[in-house]
């Protein structure tokens, strides 16, 4: 039997190392090479040594931002393995958490991309607004991060009437703020100069490279698991898929901002249509053994399609847990996005796919003509890009016209 | 297209109240249902050991104890705890519960353990 060493699922995460090699001619990038897998934590293997219920809290730690997507996706798959049907109210609460998570993830990302282009004022505003959602999820689940709301066969906590009222307030607040941000992004010259036409990924390339989530939708590809393959209660929920034909970083910003408005609408629909009474979980105990079975589960995480494969051999522990995170699908598209752009455009392009990794750990720049290798930290690259644009923005603007 | 579209918002924020809290000076209250540091009541404990079996991070170890019916009681090493609440959920006598205390910073990790 051959031994295969899995790469992932952990590498494409926020604040985690990735090595990107860019080949440049002068200021222009001619090629790029991402090297991933520096923080391989072995979670898939560890999941085989823990019970089905213990894995709920382990797999939540795959990602700190989309923890509920991971846990919910696993729980959804495990329900297929256990052959139990979660009650309707549980699905409503689970979906509510997914949408709240999308709100705060997109707000976080919006702050990060604004920070990358040097617009720290908007970074402060988005992160301040994000606190409203964080306080709400803390009230619902008891924790700001790692909500642990899902379990196999339903959810663990019911939602109070008072909290539902607050949810409506928060959804309205975020929707109004998102509209304000959309207005700012489309009118502010500083943002347009740094994002319009940067990181171009054509529709054909987006399909060919199997990009997922907002990255694909910003290139005009209608790819959304909620829409194409409805799970939980998304087949009943009325919502429109958001997409843009801009294909650049600006389009990625606009898609995410509009998605926040749609998410706020979904949240309001969920609150108004949630069953008032009813069970929130099926009777599955931590010592229930599942039948011999296998299942796949897909969820639209804030960053794109999240995929789980689960296999059971009728034991308390799963035989195999396979995870594919959205960033792994998107990371290759960076190579195509950066080609032909300036070094100063690297931070917004890389941050543009929301790589669950706020900083490129280290960037190696190889000048093809001089064959000189310099290693830059993310901080240095960020400072360089802002300084470069201050000096050359008139030239760039002329060129893009 | 104009420069400085956020200027109005920025000026508004200069004169409004700060959104951050001066935390160690101003006390912050956790909301109801907060999953803080665990609390354990040895008087209610049976010593069944279900909590130790469900814990995903092996926080709980069963040690001999004269105070419980089955002569065993859980010992919590809370520096490993991920606050998932599995033990609180499965405890048949509700001997384990969550507190609202979120101050987990200590000089020695033994300081936040619970022994029966």
Are A247 and A126 contained in the same domain?
A: yes
Helix (H, G, I), strand (E, B) or coil at B26: coil
Q: What is the ipTM of this complex?
A: 0.91
Q: Who's near B92: CB < 8 A, 6+ residues apart?
A: B46, B48, B50
Return d(Cα A275, Cα B89) in angstroms, integer. 24
Question: What is the residue-wise DSSP string for A124-144?
Answer: HHHHHHHHHHHHHHHHHHS-S
Return d(Cα A172, Cα A165) in angstroms, integer. 11
Tokens of A93: 């609460």
Are A316 and A394 contained in the same domain?
A: no
Are A105 and A32 contained in the same domain?
A: no
Domain extent at residue A15: 3-39+330-400
What is the pLDDT at residue A363? 40
Q: What is the DSSP letter of A4?
A: -
Are A157 and A20 contained in the same domain?
A: no
Are A18 and A69 contained in the same domain?
A: no
Look at A50 and B31 and tell me if their CB atoms are within 8 Å.
no
Helix (H, G, I), strand (E, B) or coil at A160: coil
**Diameter of chain B by CA atoms?**
78
* Spatial CA neighbour of A360 closest among A38, A78, A30: A38
Q: Report the percent of chain A where pLDDT is more than 90.
A: 43
Task: Kindly tell me if the per-residue pLDDT of B113 is higher than 90.
Answer: no
Interface test mutation site (partner A, options B4, B35, B36, B48, max chain A beta carbons within 10 A): B35
Partner residue facing B84 (CB), from A148, A190, A285: A148
Are A370 and A233 contained in the same domain?
A: no
Q: What is the pLDDT averaged over residues A207-222?
A: 91
Buried b or exposed e, range A57-80, using 16+ CB within 10 angstroms? bbbbbbbebbbbbbbbbbbbbbbb
From residue A161, give the alpha-carbon distance in Å to each of A87, A90, A96, A158, B107.
Answer: 19, 15, 14, 10, 41
Query: Nearest chain B Cα to A142, which residue?
Result: B34
Contacts of B35 in chain A (CB under 8 A): 141-143, 148
Say if residues B63 and B77 touch (Cβ distance below 8 Å): no
Are A370 and A273 contained in the same domain?
A: no
Low-confidence winner among A32-41, A121-130, A172-181, A307-316 (lowest mean pLDDT): A32-41
Tokens of A55: 């894995």
Return d(Cα A129, Cα A184) in angstroms, integer. 15
Instruction: State the CATH number of the domain containing residue A362.
Output: 3.30.390
Return d(Cα A374, Cα A380) in angstroms, integer. 11
Domains and CATH numbers, chain B: 31-111 (3.30.70.3270)
Contacts of A153 in chain B (CB under 8 A): none
Interchain CB contact of A145 with B (< 8 Å): no
What is the pLDDT at residue B3? 63
Burial class of residue A103, CB neighbours in 10 A (0-12, 13-18, 19+): buried
Low-confidence winner among A22-31, A68-77, A133-142, A150-159 (lowest mean pLDDT): A22-31
Interface test mutation site (partner A, options B21, B38, B85, B90, max chain A beta carbons within 10 A): B85
Q: What is the pLDDT averaged over residues A114-123?
A: 87
Instruction: Band the pLDDT of A401: cuts 50, 70, 90.
Output: low
Partner residue facing A128 (CB), from B19, B34, B57: B19
**Diameter of chain A by CA atoms?**
71
Say how many domains are in chain A: 2
Are A224 and A299 contained in the same domain?
A: yes
Return d(Cα A79, Cα A216) in angstroms, integer. 29
Say if residues A221 and A206 touch (Cβ distance below 8 Å): yes
Q: What is the pLDDT averaged over residues A182-194?
A: 89
Return d(Cα A207, Cα A211) in angstroms, integer. 7
Buried b or exposed e, range A247-283, using 16+ CB within 10 angstroms? bbbbbbbbbbbbbbbbbbbbbbbbbeebeeeeebbbe
From residue B29, give the alpha-carbon distance in Å to each of A135, A170, A174, A292, B33.
Answer: 12, 20, 24, 47, 12
Q: Which of A288, A309, A324 is the last residue of a domain?
A: A324
What is the pLDDT at residue A356? 64
State the nearest Cα–Cα gap between B34 and chain A, in angstroms: 4
Burial class of residue A235, CB neighbours in 10 A (0-12, 13-18, 19+): exposed
Q: Which of A285, A300, A324 is the last residue of a domain?
A: A324
Are A362 and A222 contained in the same domain?
A: no
Structure confidence by residue, pLDDT tens digits, B4-57: 677 888 888 889 888 888 988 998 888 888 999 999 999 999 999 999 999 999
* Spatial CA neighbour of A312 closest among A32, A25, A80, A129: A80
Say if residues B78 and B112 touch (Cβ distance below 8 Å): yes
What is the pLDDT at residue A368? 52
Helix (H, G, I), strand (E, B) or coil at B88: helix
What is the pLDDT at residue A377? 65
Look at A143 and B35 and tell me if their CB atoms are within 8 Å.
yes
Structure confidence by residue, pLDDT tens digits, A221-244: 998 999 888 988 999 989 899 989
**Average pLDDT of chain A?**
84
Are A253 and A315 contained in the same domain?
A: yes
Interface test mutation site (partner B, options A119, A142, A281, max chain B beta carbons within 10 A): A142
Q: What is the pLDDT averaged over residues B55-81?
A: 91
**Average pLDDT of chain B?**
88
Structure confidence by residue, pLDDT tens digits, A45-67: 888 999 999 999 998 888 888 88
Are A380 and A284 contained in the same domain?
A: no
Are A279 and A339 contained in the same domain?
A: no
Q: Which of A280, A306, A324 is the last residue of a domain?
A: A324
Structure confidence by residue, pLDDT tens digits, A315-352: 899 999 988 888 888 888 888 888 888 878 888 888 88
What is the pLDDT at residue A376? 63
Instruction: Band the pLDDT of A1: cuts 50, 70, 90.
Output: very low
* Spatial CA neighbour of B73 closest among B89, B95, B98: B95
Q: What is the DSSP letter of A209?
A: T
Query: Nearest chain B Cα to A58, which residue?
Result: B56
């Amino acid at each position: 039997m051959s031994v295969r060493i899995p790469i992932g699922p952990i590498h494409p995460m926020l604040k985690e190392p990735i090595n990107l090699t860019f080949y440049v001619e002068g200021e222009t990038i001619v090629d790029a090479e991402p090297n991933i897998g520096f923080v391989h934590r072995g979670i898939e293997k560890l999941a085989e040594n823990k019970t089905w219920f213990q894995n709920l809290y382990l797999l939540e730690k795959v990602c700190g931002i989309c923890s509920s997507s991971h846990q919910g996706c696993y729980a959804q798959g495990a329900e297929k393995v256990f052959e139990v049907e979660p009650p309707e109210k549980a699905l409503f609460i689970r979906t509510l958490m997914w949408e709240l998570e999308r709100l705060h993830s997109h707000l976080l990302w919006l702050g990060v991309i604004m920070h990358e282009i040097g617009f720290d004022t908007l970074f402060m505003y988005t992160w301040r607004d994000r606190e409203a959602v964080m306080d709400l999820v803390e009230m619902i689940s008891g924790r700001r991060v790692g909500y642990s709301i899902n379990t196999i066969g339903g959810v663990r906590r019911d939602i109070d009437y008072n909290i539902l009222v607050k949810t409506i307030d928060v959804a309205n607040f975020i929707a109004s703020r998102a509209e304000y941000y959309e207005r700012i992004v489309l009118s502010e010259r500083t943002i347009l100069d740094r994002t319009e036409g940067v990181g171009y990924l054509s529709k054909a390339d987006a399909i060919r490279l199997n990009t997922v989530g907002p990255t694909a939708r910003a290139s005009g590809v209608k790819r959304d698991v909620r829409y194409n393959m409805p799970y939980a209660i998304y087949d009943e929920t009325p919502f429109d898929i958001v997409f843009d034909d801009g294909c650049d970083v600006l389009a990625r910003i606009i898609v995410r901002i509009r998605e926040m408005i749609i998410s706020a609408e979904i949240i309001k629909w969920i609150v108004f249509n949630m069953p008032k009474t009813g069970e929130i979980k099926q009777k599955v105990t931590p010592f229930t053994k599942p039948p011999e079975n296998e299942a796949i589960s897909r969820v639209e995480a804030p960053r794109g399609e999240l995929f789980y494969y689960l296999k059971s051999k009728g034991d308390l522990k799963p035989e195999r847990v396979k995870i594919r995170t959205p960033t792994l699908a998107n990371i290759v598209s960076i190579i195509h996005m950066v080609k032909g752009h300036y070094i100063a455009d690297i931070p917004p392009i890389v941050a543009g796919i929301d790589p669950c990794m706020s900083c490129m750990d280290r960037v190696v720049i190889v000048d093809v003509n001089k064959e000189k290798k310099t290693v830059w930290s993310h901080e240095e690259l960020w400072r360089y890009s802002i300084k470069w644009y201050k000096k050359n923005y008139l030239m760039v603007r002329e060129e893009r016209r | 297209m104009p420069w400085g579209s956020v200027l109005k918002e920025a000026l508004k924020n200069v004169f409004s109240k700060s959104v951050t809290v001066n935390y160690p000076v101003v006390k912050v209250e956790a909301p109801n249902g907060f999953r803080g540091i665990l609390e354990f009541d040895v008087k209610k404990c049976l010593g069944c050991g279900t909590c130790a079996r469900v814990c995903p991070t092996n926080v709980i170890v069963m040690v001999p104890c004269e105070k419980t019916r089955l002569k065993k009681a859980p010992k919590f090493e809370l520096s490993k705890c991920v606050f998932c609440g599995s033990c609180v959920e499965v405890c048949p006598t509700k001997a384990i519960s969550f507190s609202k205390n979120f101050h987990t910073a200590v000089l020695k990790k033994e300081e936040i353990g619970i022994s029966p």
